[in-house]
Amino acid sequence: MTIHVVGNVCIDNSFHLERLPQPGETVNAETASEGLGGKGANQAVAAARTGAAVTLWAAVGRDAAADRMQDLLSAELDDLRLSRLDLPSDRSVVLVDGLGENVIVTAAACANAFDPLREGALPSAFRRGDMLLMQGNLPSRTTADCLRQARAAGLFTVLNPSPLPLAGMELGSLSLLIANRPEAQMLTGEADPQAAARRLRALSIDHIVITLGGDGAFLLDGDASLTIPAHPTDVVDTSGAGDCYTGTLAGLIHRGVPLARAAGVASAAAALSVSRPGTLAAFPTLADLDALIPSFTTDNT
């Protein structure tokens, strides 16, 4: 069985600064780097590092950046389905301050034009028991159509609506929604995470996880609720922490780890990632995760 991650991939240009610039101000970076990014790619790699079989479906341009992204992804994933478009490959600029907080700007021509259903290969790859994992980078209609077809084909469907909640999108075709506190509020109008989760559950979403940063996460599994505690850590760089959490959670669920236990391990994985610099380089390896999983006994589920 396979996790199909449908999303975006881009080149990240990261700059580490003592503080973020004010409007109109130029600030010299302490360090700068270039690497692989994009929420689709990040979550696919995080899921693959759990030991799950992952296929990444994304769009890139016909340029040197696309060739580099393919090489980098091939080192992490066995199955790449990259559509080549006559557009510039997507890029992001990531600014990280001395406290590890970040701001990101993305040029997303390929993600905006990508429609894996129109190309036809994605639906033919679906097998009952597979998982579809999507984010908020693609056009909302494309995302909704993919999730609906996957659910009809018997897949476990997962949506992480970051970076933007998908306004007006029908969410009833979801097996699992993973959102942070602001996203949950924008989707429901409820500031309280528990109230937001129950409103989302009323839309016939099977399972809801709302991440709460330093306060952990709130899980609504059917009618059962649980608060997952956060893991204390020294924050170095928060880039990709939500992707690490989402991809790890999806991969562990697909491996058969119960949802509550998987959410605890994903929380520990995200805490580990923010204690290291970088994005994919900071994500836990399979060995890291195997060391984390035994610490979550039945008492933690």
CATH number, residue 153: 3.40.1190.20
Answer whether residue 100 is part of any domain. Answer: no
Asked whether residue 21 is domain-assigned, the answer is no
The answer to whether residue 30 sits within a structural domain is no
Whole-model pTM above 0.85?
A: yes
* 94 in any annotated domain: no
Q: Would you call 22 exposed, middle or buried from its count of C-beta atoms within 10 A (0-12, 13-18, 19+)? A: exposed
Confidence of residue 294 (pLDDT cuts 50, 70, 90): low
3-state secondary structure of 13: strand
Instruction: Identify whether 132 is part of a domain.
Output: yes
Checking if the pLDDT of 257 tops 80, the result is yes
DSSP one-letter code for 295: G
Residues β-bridged to residue 31: 16
Domain containing 121 equals 3-9+38-89+110-300
Residue 176 maps to a domain: yes
* 287 contacts: CB under 8 Å, gap ≥ 6: none
Domain count for the chain, please give it.
1
Token digits of residue 236: 């170095």
Burial class (CB in 10 A: 0-12, 13-18, 19+), 10: buried
Q: What is the pLDDT, as a whole number, of residue 298? A: 36
Tokens of 167: 């306004």
pLDDT average, residue stretch 91-120: 90
Domain membership flag for residue 233: yes
Q: Is residue 263 part of a domain?
A: yes
Mean pLDDT of 143-170: 87
Q: What is the CA radius of gyration of the chain?
A: 18
Mean pLDDT of 147-151: 95
- For residue 33, the cross-strand partners are 14
Task: Classify strands 176-180 and 207-211 as parallel, antiparallel or unpaired.
Answer: parallel
